[in-house]
Structure 1
Amino acid sequence: MTVGAAAGPPTEPAAWLPLPDVAERLDISISKVHQMIRDGALLAVRRDGIRVVPEELVANSTVLKHLPGVLTLLHDAGYNDEEAVRWLYQPDEALDGNAARGLGGHRAREVKRRAQALGF
């Protein structure tokens, strides 16, 4: 068992944002949102046939500060966006409930360290 990992099934974000809503929240064009996804600065998955982004990854009209770096580490470790969502939302009380919540707080360094360790 991984250190700090909590038992139980992975969870998903409480809320999803469709890409047009992400563009509106970030005050950028939809094409820029698509570019951010292609560049790995943001992740999107399909739910009910629509590409969506976990709402809590888009905070205060910006993407969480450490998200692009963590996504790069996860992609380098072979994770696709669907697997990255599962990893970010795997219950872990040591990371304020899960890695996604940890990214938004004082546990961001630990989240990055764990993502980096996946590549080894």
Structure 2
Amino acid sequence: MTDSVPAETGADLPGPTDPAGWLTLPDVAERLELSISKVHQMIRDRELLAVRRDGVRRIPAELVANRNVLKHLPGVLNLLADAGYDDEEALRWLYREDPSLPGTPAAALAGDLAREVKRRAQAVAF
């Protein structure tokens, strides 16, 4: 995945396409009980989404539920990458309000509509 340029919205000020909370890579490593190298590998393998905010790579907190990455997230990220989305575009897609879902695709990934989000990501790819 490519590193994104710093965005105008800060990590503490969510914008219309930003999650409410962020985790740094060391925070994610601690939460998942993994090495920082493994977190970097997960980002490269599109198992996690990281973007730069205030010059630091961060991961949306809600994508790392408890001590696990959301089950369908890697599939959705790979589908969006196949559609040509970079990290910032994937973030915007995940956090764009969708009236047919409970809020955003990112929020729906944590619930019963995860497969619907994956289906929609697949439709974007084609």
| Fold shared, TM-score > 0.5 on shorter chain | yes
Q: How does 1:107-118 map to 2 (within 5 A)?
A: 107-118=113-124
Which residue of structure 1 lines up, in the alignment, with residue 10 of structure 2?
none
Q: CA RMSD in A?
A: 1.1
Give secondary structure in 2 for the equivalent of 1:118.
Answer: helix
Taking the aligned partners of 2:124 and 2:16, their CA distance within structure 1 comes to 17
Amino acid at match of 1:85: L
Do structure 1's residue 31 and structure 2's residue 37 form an aligned pair?
yes
Taking the aligned partners of 1:59 and 1:81, their CA distance within structure 2 comes to 20
2:62 maps to which of 40, 56, 60:
56
Please give the TM-score of this superposition, normalised by the length of structure 2.
Answer: 0.86
Which residue of structure 2 lines up, in the alignment, with residue 20 of structure 1?
26
Give secondary structure in 2 for the equivalent of 1:110.
Answer: helix
2:92 maps to which of 83, 86, 92:
86
1:75 maps to which of 81, 90, 109:
81
- Runs of 4+ in structure 1 displaced over 3 angstroms? none
Taking the aligned partners of 2:21 and 2:114, their CA distance within structure 1 comes to 21
Taking the aligned partners of 2:53 and 2:16, their CA distance within structure 1 comes to 16
* Structure 1 position 109, deviation (Å): 1.1
Q: Percent identity?
A: 71
**Count of residues in Structure 1 that have an aligned counterpart in Structure 2:** 112
Taking the aligned partners of 2:17 and 2:101, their CA distance within structure 1 comes to 14
